Amino acid sequence: MPSQKTATGERALRIAVIGAGASGILSGIKLREAGIADVVIYEKADRPGGTWRENHYPGLSCDVPSHVYRYSFEPNPDWSRLFSPGPEIQNYLEAMVRKYGLDEVIRYDREVVRCEWDGARWEVELSDGEVDHADVVIAATGVLHHPRTPEIEGLERFEGACFHSARWDDSTVLDGKRVGIIGNGSTGVQITTAVSGRASHLSLFQRTAQWVLPQENPVYSEEEKARFRDDRELCQHLYRELNKSFITNFSHAVVDAESEGIAMVETACRAHLDEKVADPELKAKLTPDYRAGCKRLVVAGGFYEALQRSDTELVTEDIESVEATGVRTRDGRLHPLDVLVLATGFQTHQFIRPTKVIGRDGIRLDDAWAESNRTYLSVSVPQFPNFFMLVGPYSPVGNFSLIGVAETQLSYVMQLIEVLRDGRARQVAARADATERFFAEMVEATKGTIWASGCKSWYIDKSGVPASWPWDYDRFESMMATPDLKDFELL
């Protein structure tokens, strides 16, 4: 059924949002604030939260300061620490759903399996067979939600508890057990730090050493939280100052591999390792052979101390196979285990997939992205009208707060939606030539970033390009401030 006009003459749009994580919740809030009443949010799980719902392993915390990792318009005076634990972020997002009444529009346990453009609207098929129609689809599906399971011989033969860190089994007892962790990125480091000392023996299987930036995580006192509650502007001031510091000290550094900032980061990482690890053999095992920041930087405190406990072991020998009772490494040694945790990360280049997205003239997103996930400014794809992404391919996933990224991108998308509402067009999609121009400029710019300095990381896509915004924050804000409609097909 075609869209109707409102009493003010605006086109009444139905908008479907995919995902009720931080970006999807944000979309629901801002769309309704803009007077768009016909909004539905489809969520594959039984509650909101996205990556903070999926991940609830021991030691989970955010590596962005709490007072920055929140909606700019919704300060939280009750963060417990400078870097908040995962459950607090989940609680914050659930509180936002309640405050803004989004349970009215979120449909839980409804996975979107297909979106197909029918020439005028999107046909949205759900996992239960239901079909909906929408004028606009916003993919707020995030980056870290498709677990990557390692291909290790015999993994299925393990007789103990075995699960991915994003599918944590809360019924599994860790205390007094022999625990193995495969993977030593941020997740593996956090779990190791939390579980070391609880397990009778912990084995951390390391494939590649990680740079670890030391992190102090002070507790906010009750007096400080009371001041935050009494003075909203104090929260906003802290937001601005922490955001400015984060951008100045890190975000600008990673986009220039020769910057003074990234050199300072590496110096701090080396000093941290030198200070905490005296044993030369262990230090050698923990020293990466690539530059700091090339992989996602691990920001943590207490990790090196945990590794040096008598009941904790760093295993650097390659894994040969998994057996019924443990992990066997290439040196022939069997590491007996009761619990095996796969802290092996995510399929970070999936985005909305495996949902099938079919655009104009039957073109499939899988085919459009066969070589690389090409987008225009990370939000639009040629031949996919009225289909927009938040934190899509080549967004600043490696250098800014993702909630701030989503807010900036949604503001941009809302301006494109306004083109549809006021009748200037019924279809909006990026032009192919504009997309190719942006992609070429971006690929060239990535060559100077720290992510292209020589390492294997989850930033690198299948075409060998670091899939993160390669310019500084000022350019991100400038380019996302107002859409250049010449770069779009308006039909």
155-216+242-342 and 15-146+347-490 share a CATH fold: yes
pTM, whole model, 2 decimals?
0.95
**Dist CA 333 CA 317 (whole Å):** 9
- Residue 203 and residue 226 in contact, taking contact as beta carbons nearer than 8 Å: no
DSSP assignment of 397-430 equals TTTS-HHHHHHHHHHHHHHHHHHHHTTS-S-EEE
Identify the pLDDT of residue 5.
Answer: 58
Domain 155-216+242-342 fold is: FAD/NAD(P)-binding domain (3.50.50)
Please list the pLDDT of the chain residue by residue as tens digits (491 residues).
Answer: 445 555 456 789 999 999 999 999 999 999 999 999 999 999 999 999 999 999 999 999 998 899 999 999 999 999 999 999 999 999 999 999 999 999 999 999 999 999 999 999 999 999 999 999 999 999 999 887 889 999 999 999 999 999 999 999 999 999 999 999 999 999 999 999 999 999 999 999 999 999 999 988 999 999 999 999 999 899 999 999 988 888 888 888 999 999 999 999 999 999 999 999 999 999 999 999 999 999 999 999 999 999 999 999 999 999 999 999 999 999 999 999 999 999 999 988 889 999 999 999 999 999 999 988 999 999 999 999 999 999 999 999 877 889 999 999 999 999 999 999 999 999 999 999 999 999 999 999 999 999 999 999 989 988 888 989 999 988 999 999 999 999 999 99
Identify the pLDDT of residue 1.
Answer: 43
Where exactly are the structural domains of the chain? Answer: 15-146+347-490, 155-216+242-342
Amino acid at 447: K
Name the CATH superfamily, with its identifier, for domain 15-146+347-490.
FAD/NAD(P)-binding domain (3.50.50.60)
Identify the pLDDT of residue 401.
Answer: 85
Token pair listed for 71: 């909606």
Identify the pLDDT of residue 152.
Answer: 96
Amino acid at 77: P
What are the phi and psi torsion angles at 11 (to 5°)?
A: -70, 130
